[in-house]
Structure 1
Amino acid sequence: MREEHGKCQFLSWNTNFEPNGRFSITFFRDAQRTQPIQTERGSWSAANGKNEMKTDGVRTPEIYEYKILDGNSIHYVNTVTDPTADCQEDYAFTEHRIRN
Protein backbone atom coordinates (compact mmCIF):
# COMPACT_ATOMS: atom_id res chain seq x y z
CA MET A 1 0.00 0.00 0.00
CA ARG A 2 1.23 3.48 -0.74
CA GLU A 3 0.93 6.05 2.01
CA GLU A 4 -2.37 7.88 1.95
CA HIS A 5 -0.73 11.30 2.23
CA GLY A 6 2.62 10.47 0.62
CA LYS A 7 4.31 11.88 -2.47
CA CYS A 8 2.39 9.54 -4.79
CA GLN A 9 -1.29 8.88 -5.40
CA PHE A 10 -2.62 6.39 -2.86
CA LEU A 11 -2.82 2.80 -4.09
CA SER A 12 -3.25 -0.59 -2.53
CA TRP A 13 -2.77 -3.85 -4.36
CA ASN A 14 -2.90 -7.63 -4.24
CA THR A 15 -0.09 -9.54 -5.91
CA ASN A 16 -0.35 -13.20 -6.83
CA PHE A 17 2.87 -14.98 -7.83
CA GLU A 18 2.12 -18.33 -9.47
CA PRO A 19 4.62 -21.23 -9.28
CA ASN A 20 4.54 -21.41 -13.11
CA GLY A 21 6.25 -18.01 -13.38
CA ARG A 22 3.12 -15.92 -14.00
CA PHE A 23 1.86 -13.07 -11.82
CA SER A 24 -1.18 -10.83 -11.50
CA ILE A 25 -1.39 -7.55 -9.60
CA THR A 26 -4.73 -5.90 -8.98
CA PHE A 27 -4.55 -2.23 -7.98
CA PHE A 28 -7.23 -0.58 -5.85
CA ARG A 29 -8.26 2.99 -4.95
CA ASP A 30 -8.94 2.15 -1.31
CA ALA A 31 -7.12 0.46 1.57
CA GLN A 32 -9.87 -2.15 1.97
CA ARG A 33 -9.24 -3.27 -1.64
CA THR A 34 -12.88 -2.99 -2.70
CA GLN A 35 -12.50 -0.40 -5.53
CA PRO A 36 -10.37 -1.97 -8.27
CA ILE A 37 -8.54 0.20 -10.79
CA GLN A 38 -6.92 -2.42 -13.03
CA THR A 39 -5.19 -5.80 -13.09
CA GLU A 40 -1.80 -6.37 -14.69
CA ARG A 41 -0.53 -9.80 -15.67
CA GLY A 42 2.85 -11.04 -16.78
CA SER A 43 5.79 -13.29 -16.02
CA TRP A 44 8.25 -13.20 -13.15
CA SER A 45 11.46 -14.83 -12.04
CA ALA A 46 13.56 -14.37 -8.92
CA ALA A 47 17.15 -15.33 -8.11
CA ASN A 48 20.14 -13.94 -6.25
CA GLY A 49 18.18 -11.16 -4.56
CA LYS A 50 16.62 -9.85 -7.78
CA ASN A 51 13.03 -10.19 -8.97
CA GLU A 52 12.28 -9.48 -12.63
CA MET A 53 8.68 -8.78 -13.57
CA LYS A 54 7.65 -8.46 -17.22
CA THR A 55 4.10 -7.16 -17.61
CA ASP A 56 2.26 -8.45 -20.67
CA GLY A 57 2.27 -5.78 -23.39
CA VAL A 58 5.10 -3.74 -21.81
CA ARG A 59 8.47 -3.80 -23.57
CA THR A 60 10.83 -3.50 -20.63
CA PRO A 61 10.75 -5.53 -17.42
CA GLU A 62 10.83 -4.06 -13.94
CA ILE A 63 13.76 -5.35 -11.92
CA TYR A 64 13.68 -5.19 -8.14
CA GLU A 65 16.27 -6.02 -5.54
CA TYR A 66 14.53 -7.80 -2.69
CA LYS A 67 15.24 -8.78 0.86
CA ILE A 68 13.14 -11.27 2.79
CA LEU A 69 12.31 -9.68 6.14
CA ASP A 70 10.42 -12.64 7.59
CA GLY A 71 8.16 -15.47 6.41
CA ASN A 72 5.44 -12.98 5.47
CA SER A 73 7.26 -9.81 4.37
CA ILE A 74 9.59 -8.87 1.52
CA HIS A 75 11.14 -5.44 0.95
CA TYR A 76 11.59 -4.41 -2.71
CA VAL A 77 13.63 -1.64 -4.29
CA ASN A 78 13.19 -0.95 -8.00
CA THR A 79 16.66 -0.76 -9.59
CA VAL A 80 15.73 1.34 -12.65
CA THR A 81 13.47 4.38 -12.57
CA ASP A 82 10.89 4.35 -15.33
CA PRO A 83 10.06 7.79 -16.74
CA THR A 84 6.61 6.50 -17.76
CA ALA A 85 5.73 5.32 -14.21
CA ASP A 86 2.82 7.07 -12.54
CA CYS A 87 5.03 8.16 -9.62
CA GLN A 88 8.77 8.67 -9.65
CA GLU A 89 8.99 8.49 -5.85
CA ASP A 90 7.56 4.98 -5.55
CA TYR A 91 10.54 2.71 -5.99
CA ALA A 92 10.82 1.09 -2.56
CA PHE A 93 8.08 -0.77 -0.70
CA THR A 94 7.40 -3.75 1.53
CA GLU A 95 4.84 -6.39 0.61
CA HIS A 96 3.12 -8.37 3.37
CA ARG A 97 1.42 -11.71 2.92
CA ILE A 98 -2.28 -11.59 3.69
CA ARG A 99 -3.98 -14.91 4.08
CA ASN A 100 -7.64 -15.08 3.07
Structure 2
Amino acid sequence: MTLDGLPERGSWKGLRAENGKCQFLSWKNDFKPDGRFTITFFRDAQQTQPIQTEHGTWSAANGKNELRTDGVRMPDVYTYKLTDVDTVRYVSLASDPSGDCQEDYDFIERRIRG
Protein backbone atom coordinates (compact mmCIF):
# COMPACT_ATOMS: atom_id res chain seq x y z
CA MET A 1 0.00 0.00 0.00
CA THR A 2 1.11 3.54 -0.57
CA LEU A 3 -0.09 6.88 0.64
CA ASP A 4 0.29 9.52 -2.08
CA GLY A 5 3.18 7.51 -3.55
CA LEU A 6 5.01 7.13 -0.22
CA PRO A 7 5.18 3.65 1.26
CA GLU A 8 3.01 3.89 4.33
CA ARG A 9 4.87 1.44 6.51
CA GLY A 10 8.03 -0.57 6.74
CA SER A 11 11.66 -0.16 7.63
CA TRP A 12 14.02 2.10 5.72
CA LYS A 13 17.68 3.00 6.05
CA GLY A 14 19.57 6.05 4.91
CA LEU A 15 22.69 8.13 5.37
CA ARG A 16 24.05 11.60 4.85
CA ALA A 17 26.95 12.02 2.48
CA GLU A 18 30.26 12.00 4.32
CA ASN A 19 31.47 15.02 2.34
CA GLY A 20 28.33 17.12 2.91
CA LYS A 21 27.85 20.23 5.04
CA CYS A 22 26.22 18.25 7.84
CA GLN A 23 27.80 15.72 10.21
CA PHE A 24 27.77 12.17 8.83
CA LEU A 25 24.87 10.07 10.11
CA SER A 26 23.16 6.88 9.12
CA TRP A 27 19.74 5.85 10.37
CA LYS A 28 17.04 3.24 10.39
CA ASN A 29 13.46 4.51 10.18
CA ASP A 30 10.40 2.38 10.96
CA PHE A 31 7.15 3.84 9.61
CA LYS A 32 4.24 2.15 11.33
CA PRO A 33 0.74 1.89 9.79
CA ASP A 34 -0.78 3.72 12.79
CA GLY A 35 1.07 6.93 11.83
CA ARG A 36 3.90 6.54 14.38
CA PHE A 37 7.60 6.27 13.56
CA THR A 38 10.79 5.24 15.33
CA ILE A 39 14.14 6.40 13.99
CA THR A 40 17.55 5.37 15.33
CA PHE A 41 20.63 7.38 14.34
CA PHE A 42 24.10 5.83 14.08
CA ARG A 43 27.66 7.19 13.88
CA ASP A 44 28.65 4.63 11.24
CA ALA A 45 27.28 3.36 7.93
CA GLN A 46 27.22 -0.23 9.24
CA GLN A 47 24.77 0.89 11.97
CA THR A 48 26.68 -0.64 14.87
CA GLN A 49 27.25 2.60 16.87
CA PRO A 50 23.87 4.08 17.89
CA ILE A 51 23.65 7.75 18.86
CA GLN A 52 19.97 8.08 19.82
CA THR A 53 16.46 6.91 19.05
CA GLU A 54 13.49 9.22 18.47
CA HIS A 55 9.75 8.54 18.24
CA GLY A 56 6.92 10.56 16.78
CA THR A 57 4.18 10.79 14.19
CA TRP A 58 4.43 11.02 10.42
CA SER A 59 2.12 11.94 7.58
CA ALA A 60 2.46 12.26 3.83
CA ALA A 61 0.37 14.20 1.31
CA ASN A 62 0.83 16.21 -1.87
CA GLY A 63 4.47 15.17 -2.29
CA LYS A 64 5.47 16.23 1.23
CA ASN A 65 6.36 14.09 4.24
CA GLU A 66 6.09 15.59 7.72
CA LEU A 67 7.78 14.07 10.76
CA ARG A 68 6.82 15.33 14.22
CA THR A 69 9.26 14.05 16.79
CA ASP A 70 7.83 13.64 20.29
CA GLY A 71 8.90 16.55 22.48
CA VAL A 72 10.06 18.72 19.55
CA ARG A 73 8.07 21.86 18.79
CA MET A 74 8.57 22.12 15.03
CA PRO A 75 8.19 19.28 12.49
CA ASP A 76 10.72 18.26 9.88
CA VAL A 77 9.20 18.61 6.40
CA TYR A 78 10.55 17.00 3.23
CA THR A 79 9.53 16.66 -0.37
CA TYR A 80 9.83 13.09 -1.58
CA LYS A 81 9.91 11.15 -4.79
CA LEU A 82 9.99 7.40 -5.26
CA THR A 83 12.80 6.52 -7.66
CA ASP A 84 11.74 2.86 -7.55
CA VAL A 85 9.60 0.66 -5.30
CA ASP A 86 12.39 0.39 -2.68
CA THR A 87 14.04 3.83 -2.94
CA VAL A 88 12.81 7.28 -1.90
CA ARG A 89 14.64 10.59 -2.39
CA TYR A 90 13.91 13.28 0.21
CA VAL A 91 14.79 16.98 0.12
CA SER A 92 14.54 18.97 3.36
CA LEU A 93 12.15 21.94 3.27
CA ALA A 94 11.97 22.82 6.98
CA SER A 95 13.45 21.49 10.19
CA ASP A 96 13.26 22.27 13.87
CA PRO A 97 15.76 25.01 14.79
CA SER A 98 17.19 22.77 17.52
CA GLY A 99 18.13 20.07 14.99
CA ASP A 100 21.75 19.06 14.53
CA CYS A 101 22.07 20.51 11.02
CA GLN A 102 20.25 23.46 9.52
CA GLU A 103 21.72 23.16 6.02
CA ASP A 104 19.38 22.20 3.22
CA TYR A 105 20.16 18.67 2.21
CA ASP A 106 18.78 15.75 0.33
CA PHE A 107 19.16 12.04 0.93
CA ILE A 108 18.04 8.63 -0.21
CA GLU A 109 16.30 6.02 1.93
CA ARG A 110 16.16 2.38 0.89
CA ARG A 111 13.59 -0.16 2.02
CA ILE A 112 14.86 -2.91 4.33
CA ARG A 113 13.42 -6.19 3.16
CA GLY A 114 13.00 -9.40 5.11
TM (normalized to structure 2)? 0.79
Please state if 1:54 is matched with 2:68.
Answer: yes
Question: Which protein has the bigger strand share?
Answer: 2
Q: Residues 82 and 59 from structure 1, CA distance in 2 versus in 1: closer, same or farther, beyond 3 angstroms?
A: closer
Give the total of aligned pairs: 100
Letter in 2 for 1:13: W
One of 48, 55, 61 as aligned partner of 1:41:
55
Deviations 1:31-60 (A, max 9, x none): 110110000100001111111110000111
Q: Indicate the structure whose relative CO is greater, using CA pairs within 8 Å and at least 6 residues apart.
A: 2
| Structure 1 position 24, deviation (Å) | 0.6
Runs of at least 4 residues of structure 1 off by over 3 A? none
Letter in 1 for 2:90: Y
CA distance in 2, matches of 1:6, 1:51: 22
Q: Residues 5 and 78 from structure 1, CA distance in 2 versus in 1: closer, same or farther, beyond 3 angstroms?
A: closer
SS in 1 for 2:94: coil
Share of identical aligned residues, percent? Answer: 65
Contact 2:36 2:56 in 1 (8 A): yes
| Structure 1 position 12, deviation (Å) | 0.5
Q: Which moved more, 1:86-95 or 1:41-50?
A: 86-95
Contact 1:8 1:90 in 2 (8 A): no
Contact 2:35 2:57 in 1 (8 A): yes
| Structure 2 match to 1:11 | 25
CA RMSD of aligned residues (A): 1.5
Q: Residues 44 and 75 from structure 1, CA distance in 2 versus in 1: closer, same or farther, beyond 3 angstroms?
A: same
Structure 2 stretches lacking a partner, 5+ long: 1-14
Letter in 1 for 2:82: I
